[in-house]
Amino acid sequence: MKSFITFILTAFVATMCMAQEKNIETKSVSLENLITFIVENYSITSDETESDLQNISFLIQVPETNLSVEDKVILKQAFKLLSNRLTEDDLISIITYSGFSGVALKQTKPQDLKKVMHAVNNLKSSIKEFHLDGIELAYEYANENFDEETINTVVMIRNPNISSEVDISASLTAQPQKKKNNAVLITAISLLPELLAIIKN
């Protein structure tokens, strides 16, 4: 009987530990490749096929003012495409980093294109509270809105037309231990194109 109780207690503790470990996937894509990325990563769902629910936080690199007309066109087309590939049970969010950092669009259905397009058109004015580190904010937001029934993803959208000025030290010191690896990885990914350019020269 004692061993059975020990087994139950051990199983309970293990389950609690696993529940606390929030698994958030990290993906990175250049803005110019965003549409291809969506086609390759999010297949069209139908009534006959079941797919995992998605909870996606898009982390967009922005300049200090706002995105160019061309950048907005790409984002709009990408989100329109995404709305046809995700279901009404999926959720997307938009967070910005680099030039200014904040949550431009809280969790919403991808089919709510009016709300999504407004956020894309008015990223800076859509943010109610600005933060120092958009990368840290993205993972905090993803953790706060984590859903165990979905695939939770942070998708970093790098903009090659913007010089990346990510505060690496802020990302490392401000985040809890389990988020450090994500911050380091995403920062390294965002700086990789610049580092390769320096090496080539």
Q: Which two tokens stand for residue 199?
A: 């090496």
pLDDT score at 35: 96
Residue 102 or 161, more confident = 102
List the chain domain ranges. Answer: 22-200
pLDDT score at 95: 98
Question: Locate tokens 């996606």: which residue?
Answer: 56
Q: What is the pLDDT of residues 178-189, one digit of tens each?
A: 444 554 455 455
Residue 10 or 35, more confident = 35
Query: For the chain, what percent of residues have pLDDT higher than 90?
Result: 62
d(CA 52, CA 138): 22
Question: How distant, in Å, are the alpha carbons of 14, 39, 61, 97, 166 from that of 94?
Answer: 34, 19, 11, 10, 18
Mean pLDDT of 86-94: 96
d(CA 154, CA 28): 8
d(CA 67, CA 54): 26
Question: Locate tokens 């929030």: which residue?
Answer: 22
| pTM of the predicted structure, to 2 decimals | 0.72
The domain defined by 22-200 carries CATH number 3.30.1460: no
* Residue 127 · residue 147 · CB < 8 Å: no
Q: What is the pLDDT of residues 14-57, one digit of tens each?
A: 433 333 346 999 999 999 999 999 999 998 765 555 678 999 99
Q: What is the pLDDT of residues 130-139, one digit of tens each?
A: 999 999 999 9
CB atoms within 10 A of CB 9: 10
